[in-house]
Amino acid sequence: MAVEGIQNICVVGAGNMGHQIALGAAISGFTVKCTDVKPEMLKKAEDFTNSYLAGRVAKGKMSEDQAKAARANITFTSDLKEAAGDADLVIEAILEILELKRKVFKQLDEICPPYTILASNSSFIVSSKFVDVTGRPDKVCNMHYFNPALVMKLVEVVQGPHTSDETVRKVMAVCKALDKVPVHLTKEVEGFLVNRVIRAITEEALWLYDMGVASTEDIDKALMYGLGHPMGAFRLMDLTGIDLSYIMGMEKYRETGDPRHKPSPAIVEKYVKGEYGEKTGKGWYDYTKK
């Protein structure tokens, strides 16, 4: 499914979300350049791409020709100018730190052609907070994927007061071409749709744990078998990264100064220990035996 005016996609950030977003676009037939300032992240992203495609072929989910075509569609580079210089759409997927995003969007605005759409995969920072560093406010929006990006269907497309209807139309069309299910937020709200609901559930789950009311395992069981959730709040944090929960909490606290927004003591303890969840082998649960 072609999208008018969109063929070359640049993904900035080769971490867990970034490299999956890039690979998904390559599989869907877009020409993709994935970039990161850290060579080791690019190496991991390229290794993942090769192993994922080989695995799909081995399982009969993809033909050899399809895998070869997808691999030919994606390249990896540490040179931002090389990656974004001819992009029709840029998807930023770096750390959830506002000043970093402002720096990157300023660079992208200087590098990219005037027609390039600049989208952020941020899970809670609205584009109004960095659009002023660009000279193309009508072409800036949020395009929020969910983890794991290759599997999860939903993408939240958030239209800021500066974002044109045409930009939204094109981004929604790209999502559909990627076999995603986009939802259109017609106004900005911190946390968007899903994370506002999840945050309320997670904060309550953490309070119950911090107060010694129940264990993480039993709270997760209650959410799964009482509310029908596919996984509990603690298991979900392990999947998305406890470090992300900490960073998001601290960013919110810095912004508001409200102590209620400080991360839970249990989150802080996990963050200090480096127990971020699946990616480190241990979080609320132990994954070292897998």
Q: Could you read off the pLDDT of 152-169 as tens digits, one per residue?
A: 999 999 999 999 999 999
Q: Could you read off the pLDDT of 19-29 as tens digits, one per residue?
A: 999 999 999 99
ω into residue 148 within 30 of 0, thus cis?
A: yes
Those residues whose C-beta lies under 8 Å from the C-beta of residue 4, and which sit 6 or more positions away, are 170, 173
pLDDT at position 253: 87
Q: Kindly report the backbone phi and psi dihedral angles of residue 34, in degrees, each rounded to the nearest multiple of 5, phi listed first.
A: -105, 130
Please name every residue paired with 166 in a beta bridge, in sequence order, or none if there are none.
none
Q: Could you read off the pLDDT of 193-234 as tens digits, one per residue?
A: 998 898 899 999 999 999 999 999 999 999 999 999 999 999
Strands, E, within 63-108: which ranges?
74-77, 89-92
User: Which token pair is 42?
Assistant: 């690019």
List the catalytic residues.
Answer: 123, 144, 156, 195
Mean pLDDT of all residues in 260-269: 92
Is residue 85 helix, strand or coil? coil
For the whole model, what pTM was predicted?
0.82
pLDDT at position 290: 63
- DSSP-derived secondary structure letter, 135: S
Confidence of residue 251 (pLDDT cuts 50, 70, 90): confident
Q: Could you read off the pLDDT of 40-67 as tens digits, one per residue?
A: 999 999 999 999 999 999 999 999 999 9
Q: Could you read off the pLDDT of 91-118 as tens digits, one per residue?
A: 999 999 999 999 999 999 999 999 999 9
pLDDT at position 1: 55
Distance CA(290)–CA(287), nearest Å, equals 6
**All domains in the chain, ordered by first residue:** 8-185 (3.40.50.720), 197-278 (1.10.1040.10)
